[in-house]
Homo-oligomer: A and B are copies of this chain.
Amino acid sequence: MIIFMINKLIRKIEKNKAPIVIGLDPMLSYIPEQVKEKAFREKGENLLGAAEAIWQFNKAIIDATYDLIPAVKPQIAMYEQFGIEGLIAFKKTVEYCKEKDLVVIGDIKRGDIGSTSEAYATGHLGKVTIGGKSFYGFDEDFVTVNPYLGSDGIVPFINVCKEEKKGLFILVKTSNPSSGEFQDQLVGERPLYELVGEKVASWGEMHLGDSYSYIGAVVGATYPEMGKALRKIMPKNYILVPGYGAQGGKAEDLAPYFNKDGLGAIVSSSRGIIAAYKQAQYEKFGPTAYADASRQAVIDMREDIMGALTRK
């Protein structure tokens, strides 16, 4: 029997004692020279070679960390910038992570009017029907979506999730510095992001897995006070928390994003993990052992976060 991905995600978080997700957002500048040189030699110093370098870089990091983590979050923009070749690397990455039994959160931040959202949902979570047969496009387990267009942009995603037993993380309060420009605007006495949070909570209540909803939210680690308020508003929604590490979010700030059951949130780190070998702390690994540096960074991140949760 196929179980809801949210249940699988929670089981894996509990088993690994790791409410963390690695953001697979490779920039060419993160990739060690020897990986790029090999890829360029084999495929050419062009889009194909760059995509090969990204894929080889990802593969080594996944191989070195998959037993420690429940999930990965590839950021599609980092692949899309290399056009078709980049998106082929994205697809290969998604497939490989699924082979390793990782839950894959496609960080795609799509969102459009009804029929168009339906097409995005089909392409990333569902299947398209051609001549009576079904075909998956990118086939992630979860995707992130943008709420600016309202319910009729979100519901097509929810419908596909229900059908496929997959899930969403809807942007509520993002981690970037100017997220407040529109998200924090007061509507009556409350900020817009709380209104969006309430909507996410109501969608969540209607779409439950075993203990949590398969409709989750994105709330940046860089705004812990807002995280606390949103945790209350959305008790049954899993919260995907970007912004830990390189963007400035600290482990102590993360406790309010979790529920008393120790669940309810999953913290994402990208650069801090995949480019760990470039940090002073992991310099000793050097660029050739970059994947080992990533493994150590995962162990340290897990300890940092689990420590902060225990002290809560």
Q: Is the CB of A84 within 8 A of B91?
A: yes
* Bound form: Cα–Cα A83–B45 in Å: 25
A96 to chain B, nearest CB (A): 15
A243 to chain B, nearest CB (A): 9
Q: Is the CB of A45 within 8 A of B133?
A: yes
Point out which of A152, A174, A182 has the most chain B C-beta atoms below 10 A from its C-beta: A182
Does A122 belong to the interface (CB within 8 Å)? Answer: yes
- State how many copies of this chain the complex holds: 2
Residue of B nearest to A47 (CB): B135
Chain B residues with Cβ under 8 A from A116's Cβ? 25, 75, 77-78
Q: Is the CB of A120 within 8 A of B196?
A: no
The interface-forming segment of A183-191, A227-235, A275-283, A289-297 is A183-191
Interface 0/1 of A157-178, CB less than 8 Å to B: 0000000000000010011111
A261 to chain B, nearest CB (A): 30
Instruction: State which residues 105-133 of A face B: CB under 8 Å.
Output: 109-117, 119-120, 122-124, 128, 130-131, 133
A190 to chain B, nearest CB (A): 10
Interface 0/1 of A124-152, CB less than 8 Å to B: 10001011010111100000001111111
Does A305 belong to the interface (CB within 8 Å)? Answer: no
Q: What are 29 A-B interface contacts by the 8 Å CB criterion?
A: A25-B116, A46-B135, A47-B128, A50-B130, A75-B116, A75-B119, A77-B110, A77-B117, A78-B116, A80-B119, A81-B122, A81-B123, A81-B128, A81-B137, A83-B123, A83-B136, A83-B137, A84-B91, A109-B110, A113-B176, A147-B182, A149-B174, A150-B180, A151-B178, A152-B178, A181-B199, A182-B192, A182-B196, A185-B195
Residues of A whose CB lies within 8 Å of any CB of B are 25, 27-28, 40, 45-47, 49-50, 75, 77-78, 80-84, 86-88, 91, 109-117, 119-120, 122-124, 128, 130-131, 133, 135-138, 146-153, 171, 174-183, 185-188, 192, 195-196, 199
